[in-house]
Amino acid sequence: MSLYLALGDSITAGYGVGSEFSFPAVYSNFLRRHDPGLRVYNLGVNGLTTQGLLELLLLNHKLRQLVSQASLITITIGSNDLLRLIRNSNQLVNSQRLGVVLGNLPKTLALIGEVLRQLNPRAIIKVGTLYNPLPAGPYAQYYVQVQGVIDSANAIVISWAKRYGFVVVYVDREIRGKESSLIGSDYGHPNAAGYRAISKAFARY
C-alpha cells in the first residue's frame, strides 16, 4: 500500500480553508483514482520554517518512520524564513537581514535534503516554489521589491531540489497574474480555488 506524506508550512496545512480543502487533500483525491488504497498524512505546520522542518526530521521518531515508508513526499517551505525580513507593517524588506536569511537558506535546505535521502533514497519528492501574493492586497506597491527576494529564494529552492533529485513544482507560475482570484482574504494564503490550483500543479509535475 502506498503512502503519501505532505510536509511543510501553512500552504501544506491548508491555512484559511481547513485541512479537508488543503492542496494535499485535493491532490490525494486525484492520486486515489489510480491508487485507492493510498494512505495520506498531512503534517503541515502553520508558521514552519526550514529550521523547524529540519528539527522535526532529526528529532521526531514517528515522522522519520513515515519518511522512510513514503512513496511520495510533497514539501512547501521557505516562506516563513522570508517573513523574517519584513521590518514593519509597511512591508519593507529588512535589507540588513537579507544576506543572512538567504545565506542560511541553502545550508538548512541541504541538511533537510541529506536527512530525507538518508531515510528514503527512493521516494518521489516534490517541492513547491514560493509565490508572491502582494498584487492581491493593499501592499501591491512593494510587489517588485518583494519579488526580487522571492526570485532569489526560488533559485535556491530549485538548485536544492535538483541536487537531491526532487521534482520542482512551479507554484509561483500558477499564482502569478491570478492573485485576485486565487489569494484569500488575508492577502497571503490561497483561497479554496488557489489550493485547487496548487494541487493541480503538483499533479502535473
Q: Which residues contact 35 (CB under 8 A, 6 or more apart)?
A: 2
Q: Judge contact between 49 and 80, C-beta under 8 A.
A: yes
The model's confidence at residue 204, banded by pLDDT at 50, 70 and 90, is: very high
Q: Tell me the pLDDT tens digit for each residue of 187-198.
A: 999 999 999 999
What does the pLDDT average to over 59-63? Answer: 98
Residue 163, pLDDT score = 98
Residue 99, pLDDT score = 87
H helix runs in 32-133, sequence order: 50-59, 61-69, 79-83, 95-119
Kindly compute the dihedral angle of the four CA atoms of residues 106, 151, 124, 68, in this order, to the nearest 10 degrees.
Answer: 30
Q: Judge contact between 5 and 73, C-beta under 8 A.
A: yes
Q: What is the pTM of this model?
A: 0.95
Q: Judge contact between 184 and 191, C-beta under 8 A.
A: yes
Task: Reply yes or no on whether the pLDDT at 129 is more than 90.
Answer: yes
CA–CA separation, 49 and 117 (whole Å): 20
Task: Reply yes or no on whether the pLDDT at 84 is more than 90.
Answer: no
CA–CA separation, 12 and 43 (whole Å): 8
What does the pLDDT average to over 49-71? Answer: 98
What does the pLDDT average to over 84-92? Answer: 65
Residue 90, pLDDT score = 57
Q: How far is CA 55 from the centre of its chain?
A: 17
Residue 127, pLDDT score = 98
What does the pLDDT average to over 101-126? Answer: 97
DSSP structural state of residue 130? P
What does the pLDDT average to over 66-86? Answer: 94
Residue 95, pLDDT score = 76
Task: Reply yes or no on whether the pLDDT at 136 is more than 90.
Answer: no
Residue 121, helix vs strand vs coil: coil
